[in-house]
Every structure is written in structure tokens, then in C-alpha cells.
Amino acid sequence: MISYYDLHCYAYSGKMKTPEYVIQCSSCLLVFVTVGSPLVSCSTTYRTEAHVIEEITSTVWKSLNREFLHVEKNFVGMDRRRASSTCTSTGSWDYEVFLSFKGEDTRYNFTDHLYAALYQKGIRTFRLDEIRGEEVASALFKAIEKSRCILVVLSKYFAHSRWCLDELVKIMECRNQNGKVILPVFYHVDPSDVRKEEGWYGEALAQHESRNIFGHKTQRWRAALREVGNLS
């Protein structure tokens, strides 16, 4: 049975949106282009998952190039030392992309294929595959800060992981403070469930709150989910 909300991908930077993608079934994809986008016209086509991943990597590539051209334009007329200092403070990146995802949901399928496609395109991408612990939290947040843009794969069990939610809080802080480009991918998830904290996401947050050990963290998680959901 074809479901309307199986995968959405939005590229968002400021008020600019690029194509949104919707997976309808395992064998075909229905691709919607965001109405009113300044970059593309409205059209609907069927594509394979490989084509959708290709479109996402292309969107990432274009977003990175737009950011680079914006920075270069701002450097016109600046002396070399000042430009170098600015690059160090705002444009010294260890990675082009930070890939945030719930491993059990997508590591061995969609996210793995997406990571491979980014790698093949020469896009340096951070992906944490190892079991997470407190000792890696600071390194993880530093990787977010040192990445030019963020791909967040919001899958069914994403909100069940406090690590994923902590990542998302940090990611949205970087967007609000530094204008970092965020590209959310809604994988088998209705964006309104993320935004309104319903469905899988409402269930996950209720479970976190019932444990009564995270305190004010749950409010930050809810705020971050609403914000990333609103990017749709």
C-alpha cells in the first residue's frame, strides 16, 4: 500500500527551500518539488531510491557551493589577514556534512547508501557508528560545530534515543546562533508528527518523561523537534 508520508527531504537555509522528496514505496518514489521555491519549478516524477539519494547529494553539493560563494563574496575588498581570521572563526571546517541518524533504523540501508553517495562525490561526511558514551559527547558536539551543514535523518525511532535528541538540540542551536545549513530528511515519518510531537515521536517523548530522570532536557528536546519539524 502506498503511503503519502514515507520520506521527505527538505534543504533549508534561512528562508530558502529546495526540493522535497517523498518515498511512496520500496520500488518507486514520488518526488514533489516545494511550491514557491526560488530555485526550481513544480513537477512530479517517479524515481528509484538511488535517484532520490542522488538528488539529495546534489542538493547538499549545491548548498555547500552557495555557502562558499557567499563567503567569498563577503571577502571581496578585505585584506588577507582579516580574511584569514574570518575563515578561522566561521569557515574552518573539518567536514562538509554531519550525518545525524538513529542507527537501528537506517544504518544498514538508507543512511548507509546516502553516506556512500556523499563519499563518492568527495563530500567529507562525519558519521558516528560506534556505541555512544559520555566520553564521546564533547567530540560529537565539536564535529557538529566543525561541519558546514547537517543532514538529519528523522526516522521512526529517532526520538527514542536521548543521544539523537541531544544531537538535535545542539544542531538547532548552531542553526540559530550561526546560521548553519540544516537538511532534515523525514524517513517513514510524517513531518507533522515531528512538529506536533505525535505518533512515534509523541510516544517516545512520553516514555522519556515517564522515567522522570531527564528533567528540563525534555523541554529542550520538544523545542528542537518542533523547530526541525517546522522546516517542512
- Catalytic residue positions? 167
Q: In degrees to the nearest 10, what's the CA dihedral of 197, 198, 204, 205?
A: 40
Joined grid coordinates for residue 123: 563530500
Calculate the alpha carbon distances from 154 to 36, 73, 179, 188 in Å. Answer: 24, 34, 20, 8
Calculate the alpha carbon distances from 110 to 23, 49, 58, 200, 217 in Å. Answer: 11, 8, 16, 19, 29
Joined grid coordinates for residue 77: 575588498
